[in-house]
A and B are shown apart, each in its own frame.
Chain A
Amino acid sequence: MIKVGKIVIYSEKTELARELVTAALEIQGAERSVTAVCINDEEQTRDLAARGIAVVNLSAPGVHPSDTASTARALQQVVDELEAELVLLASNRRGKELAGRLAQRLNAGCLTDVTGMAIQEGRLACTRNTLGGATVATQFIKTARQVIAVAPRTYEPAAEKPGGSVDDMTVSISAASGIKLVETRARDKDSVDITTADLLVVVGQGLENQEDLVRAAALARFLGGEVACTKPVATDRKWLSEERVIGLSGKTCKPQLAILLGISGQVQFTVGIRDARTIIAINNDENAPIFQMADYVMVADLADVLPPL
Chain B
Amino acid sequence: MNIVVAMKQIPDVRQIRIRNRQPVLEGVPLTFGSIDKNALELGVSLKEAQGSGKVIVVSAGSEELQDTIKEALAAGADEAYLVIDDKLEQADGAVIAHVLAETIKKIDDVDLILCGEGSGDNYSGQAASRIAELLDLPQVGYASAVEIQNGTSRVTRSLEDGEEVLEVPLPLVVTVVADINQPRIPSVTQILKAGRKPQEIWELADLGIEPGAAVETVSNLAPELQRQRVVVKSNEEFTQVLQAEGFTGR
With both beta carbons as reference points, the residue of chain A lying nearest to B138 in the complex is identified as: A177
Quick check: A308 and B235 within 8 Å, CB to CB?
yes
Q: Closest CB of chain B to A60's CB: distance in Å?
A: 17
Quick check: B139 and A68 within 8 Å, CB to CB?
yes
The verdict on A228 contacting chain B, using a C-beta distance below 8 Å, is no
Known: A110-B214, A131-B23, A138-B217. A104 touches B165 (CB 8 A): no
The verdict on A136 contacting chain B, using a C-beta distance below 8 Å, is yes
- A268-309 residues with Cβ-Cβ distance < 8 A to B are 268, 274, 278-280, 282, 291-299, 305, 308-309
Quick check: A113 and B124 within 8 Å, CB to CB?
yes
Q: Of the candidates B127, B179, B217, B235, which one forms a contact with A235 in the assembled complex, judged by CB atoms under 8 Å apart? A: B179
With both beta carbons as reference points, the residue of chain A lying nearest to B228 in the complex is identified as: A295
With both beta carbons as reference points, the residue of chain A lying nearest to B237 in the complex is identified as: A298
Known: A67-B138, A93-B141, A100-B129. A185 touches B169 (CB 8 A): no
Quick check: B230 and A100 within 8 Å, CB to CB?
no
Stretch from A19-27, A140-148, A202-210 forming part of the interface with B: A140-148
Q: Closest CB of chain A to B183's CB: distance in Å?
A: 14
Quick check: A298 and B238 within 8 Å, CB to CB?
yes
Quick check: B138 and A179 within 8 Å, CB to CB?
yes
Q: Closest CB of chain B to A147's CB: distance in Å?
A: 9
The verdict on A266 contacting chain B, using a C-beta distance below 8 Å, is yes
Q: Closest CB of chain B to A201's CB: distance in Å?
A: 11
- Residues in A whose Cβ lies below 8 Å from that of B163: 184-185, 187
Quick check: A297 and B127 within 8 Å, CB to CB?
no
- A61-115 residues with Cβ-Cβ distance < 8 A to B are 66-69, 72, 92-94, 96-101, 103-105, 108-113
Total residue contacts A-B, CB cutoff 8 A: 241
Known: A136-B221, A292-B227. A248 touches B157 (CB 8 A): no
Quick check: A296 and B230 within 8 Å, CB to CB?
yes
Q: Of the candidates B97, B125, B218, B227, which one forms a contact with A104 in the assembled complex, judged by CB atoms under 8 Å apart? A: B97
Main secondary structure of the interface of A (DSSP, over half): mixed
Q: Of the candidates B94, B132, B230, which one forms a contact with A103 in the assembled complex, judged by CB atoms under 8 Å apart? A: B94
Quick check: A293 and B245 within 8 Å, CB to CB?
no
| Max chain A Cβ within 10 angstroms of own Cβ: one of B97, B133, B213, B225 | B133
Q: Closest CB of chain A to B33's CB: distance in Å?
A: 9
State in angstroms the CA–CA spacing of A105 and B97 once bound together.
13
With both beta carbons as reference points, the residue of chain A lying nearest to B179 in the complex is identified as: A235
Stretch from B11-19, B47-55, B194-202, B203-211 forming part of the interface with A: B11-19
State in angstroms the CA–CA spacing of A291 and B139 once bound together.
42
- Residues in A whose Cβ lies below 8 Å from that of B220: 130-131, 135-138
Quick check: A180 and B166 within 8 Å, CB to CB?
yes
Quick check: A295 and B238 within 8 Å, CB to CB?
no
Quick check: A295 and B124 within 8 Å, CB to CB?
no
Quick check: B214 and A109 within 8 Å, CB to CB?
yes
Q: Closest CB of chain B to A10's CB: distance in Å?
A: 15
The verdict on B159 contacting chain A, using a C-beta distance below 8 Å, is yes
Quick check: A96 and B141 within 8 Å, CB to CB?
yes
Known: A93-B142, A137-B220, A140-B216. A100 touches B126 (CB 8 A): yes
| Max chain A Cβ within 10 angstroms of own Cβ: one of B139, B175, B214, B229 | B214
Quick check: A178 and B168 within 8 Å, CB to CB?
yes
- Residues in B whose Cβ lies below 8 Å from that of A177: 137-138, 168
Stretch from B62-70, B80-88, B104-112, B115-123 forming part of the interface with A: B115-123
- Residues in A whose Cβ lies below 8 Å from that of B222: 134-136
With both beta carbons as reference points, the residue of chain A lying nearest to B213 in the complex is identified as: A142
Q: Of the candidates B16, B133, B178, B245, which one forms a contact with A278 in the assembled complex, judged by CB atoms under 8 Å apart? A: B245
- Residues in B whose Cβ lies below 8 Å from that of A266: 14
The verdict on A4 contacting chain B, using a C-beta distance below 8 Å, is no
- Residues in A whose Cβ lies below 8 Å from that of B121: 130-132
The verdict on A168 contacting chain B, using a C-beta distance below 8 Å, is no
Quick check: B160 and A291 within 8 Å, CB to CB?
no
- Residues in A whose Cβ lies below 8 Å from that of B168: 177-180
The verdict on B26 contacting chain A, using a C-beta distance below 8 Å, is no
State in angstroms the CA–CA spacing of A256 and B247 once bound together.
10
Pull 17 A–B residue pairs with CB atoms less than 8 Å apart, ordered by A: A93-B142, A96-B141, A104-B129, A110-B215, A112-B124, A112-B126, A129-B123, A134-B18, A135-B220, A140-B215, A184-B164, A186-B161, A225-B247, A236-B179, A257-B245, A274-B223, A309-B235
- Residues of B whose CB lies within 8 Å of any CB of A are 11, 13-14, 16, 18, 23, 92-94, 97, 118, 120-130, 132-134, 137-142, 154, 157-169, 175, 177-179, 213-223, 225, 227-233, 235, 238, 241-242, 245-247, 249-250
Known: A101-B129, A179-B167. 9 other contacts (CB 8 A): A99-B126, A100-B130, A132-B120, A136-B223, A139-B218, A178-B169, A184-B162, A185-B165, A296-B231
Q: What 4 pairs across the A-B complex have the smallest Cβ distances?
A: A109-B214, A100-B129, A100-B126, A132-B13
